[in-house]
Amino acid sequence: MRRKRLLPKLLLIALVIIVIAAVCAVLLVRRFYPLRYLDIISKYAEEYNLSVELVCAVIHSESRFDENAVSPEGASGLMQIMESTAYWLAPQIGMDDFDYGQIFDPEINIRLGCYYLSMLGRRYGDIDVALSAYNAGSGNVEEWLKNPEYSSDEATLDHIPFTETRNYVSRVASSQRIYSILLRFPKLFITVRGKEAFV
Q: What is the DSSP string of 113-126?
A: HHHHHHHHHHHHS-
| Spatial contact of 82 and 50, defined as CB atoms under 8 Å apart | no
The residues annotated with a catalytic role in the active site are: 62
The tens digit of pLDDT for each residue in 119-165 reads 999 999 999 999 999 999 999 999 999 999 999 999 999 999 999 99
Rounded CA-CA distance 106/102 in Å is: 9
Q: Give me the phi and psi of 67, to 5 degrees please.
A: -65, -15
Domains of the chain, earliest start first: 33-189 (1.10.530.10)
Instruction: Express each pLDDT in 17-71 by its tens digit.
Output: 665 655 555 554 556 689 999 999 999 999 999 999 999 999 999 999 999 999 9
Question: What is the C-alpha separation between 128 and 121, in angstroms, rounded?
Answer: 9
Q: What is the pTM of this model?
A: 0.83
